[in-house]
Amino acid sequence: MNPLEVSAIIFLLIFGGAMLGMWLRGVLPQDHFDADTKDLVKLGVGLIGTMAALLLGLLVASAKSSYDTRNNELQQMAANVILLDRVLAHYGPATSEVRSLVKIAIARMIDQVWSKDGKQDSVPWQGGANLVYDKIQELVPRSDGQRALQSQAESILVNFGQERLLLFAQSGSSISTPFLVVVVFWLTVLFISFGLFAPRNGTAIATLLVAAISVAGALFLILELDQPFSGLIQIPSAPLRNALMALGH
């Protein structure tokens, strides 16, 4: 399921918990609402709230760290592409075909990763990288300088391939599903307690509704961060697009 669907389910659970609490307030005996019981419930809910806040912090840190790591790797890949093009340009006219292949392959990679239909190849530019590497190896250097440039180009391309494979090896979710389930359960318990002691009026219901939307919205943003190549908070393709514009010049 996508983040919007998951956050919608979370909203229904926690707001439903608040409504359940309001319903329980009307069916439970009055001696369940004496001062001692209220104090005990408040202590238990406070403990659950603290633990939920800690787990939410861990989820945010995990998703943000994964997002930043992939963003940095993408920027490094863009820098390596430009460096590869400059090295090939210094080699001489014999690399014109290879440089054209690099440009075509990068354009194809951008289309694959940031596809409009949301479908992405698991490892984009796999065939293009192999073809470019083969073409570089087929070059026949005529001087020590060209031989050094050929070796440098091969090294840059190998590093680029490692970064590319690492980037998409990390394409899985960084958010632990058990963590998320436990957090949602605790939040539902919290909202049940809110509804249990809330008065039955429009203001109370509206307050609980806004609070549930806010919590579900926060979890939606966390889930969006965990999908960096799609959705609202996706990693921009600008670094690779800028590198593409610089190729061949």
Instruction: Name the residue type at position 111.
Output: D
Q: Would you state the pLDDT for residue 11?
A: 95
Res 116: pLDDT: 57
Report if pTM > 0.85. no
SS (H, E, C) the chain: CCHHHHHHHHHHHHHHHHHHHHHHHHHCCHHHHCHHHHHHHHHHHHHHHHHHHHHHHHHHHHHHHHHHHHHHHHHHHHHHHHHHHHHHHHHCHHHHHHHHHHHHHHHHHHHHHCCCCCCCCCCCCHHHHHHHHHHHHCCCCCCHHHHHHHHHHHHHHHHHHHHHHHHHHCCCCCCCHHHHHHHHHHHHHHHHHHHHCCCCCHHHHHHHHHHHHHHHHHHHHHHHHCCCCCCCCCCCCHHHHHHHHHCCC
With a cut of 70, which residues of the chain have pLDDT below it? 115-128, 170-172, 249
| pLDDT (0 to 100) of residue 121 | 47
Phi-psi region of 113 (alpha: psi -120 to 50; beta: other; left: phi over 0): alpha
Position 38 scores a pLDDT of 85
The pLDDT tens digits for 28-86 are 888 777 888 888 888 999 999 999 899 888 888 888 888 888 888 888 889 999 999 99
The reported pLDDT for the residue numbered 130 is 74
pLDDT at position 25 is 84
Give burial (CB, 10 Å; 0-12/13-18/19+) of 203: exposed
Q: ∠ CA 54-55-59 to the nearest 5 degrees?
A: 120
